[in-house]
Structure 1
Amino acid sequence: MKCIEHNNEAVAVCSNCGVALCSECSSRSPSSKYCCSENCLQQISFSEGVAELTLERATKASMAGAYGSYLLGLVFLGFAVWGLFNDFIGAVIYMGLFGCGMIVMGYFYQRSAKSKIPVNKSKHAEL
């Protein structure tokens, strides 16, 4: 594959538009992706910003789901204890199982939030 401008052998491909680049034409974005022009650099930076924002919001939503599940689990367990003291055995079983299930679900939400990999900021500082 040849460079589109210099007709030299290509060493990279633009991450945004797919144009072949020689060593003279190629430049890198802050995340070390190859780009051919300022316009492509802006597009790559915008796309990376969108991905970072999406990851951040998904992590926050998972943590909110975890805290909500913990809270509901505790409320249902509280009703189960109340039913135990007031001889509502059906409520004790239902509320107790549902409360435990909500707490387990909260654990998995929290685990999901912690497993999301943040974008490495140190690469942006290099360039």
Structure 2
Amino acid sequence: METPDLADLIWLFEDEPTSEDADLAWPVGLQSFRLRRGTREVLFSLDPTSGEAYLTMYEAGEETMALGRLRRLASLTVEKRDEYEGLVLLFTSGDLDALRLQTRPVIRLSWDVMTLGVW
């Protein structure tokens, strides 16, 4: 999995990565970044070694959604243009659309899962 430089992720999330295990430092183990804009907050966790990501969104301190164990990621890319900043997660399967996490000017998640079919 291709990942951005740690400095780019720190810039994007305006936060240093943290780990539940104090003995593990980037890029070993699950590392989490937290960002708050207004009443919205996102917790993005990534295990660069296993290539798994987790995403939890909050509104006014209440969890609104969680996507756990996103696997088979091909790449993570930091996007910067005009007033927009965000993270794009591409999957190895061409059947899945990219997951887009916008971090500026607001926190917003976009992922079209219609390609997965009717559940």
Q: TM-score, normalised by structure 1?
A: 0.18
More strand by share: 2
The structure with the greater share of residues assigned to helix is 1
Q: Highest relative contact order (Cα 8 Å, sep 6+), 1 or 2?
A: 1
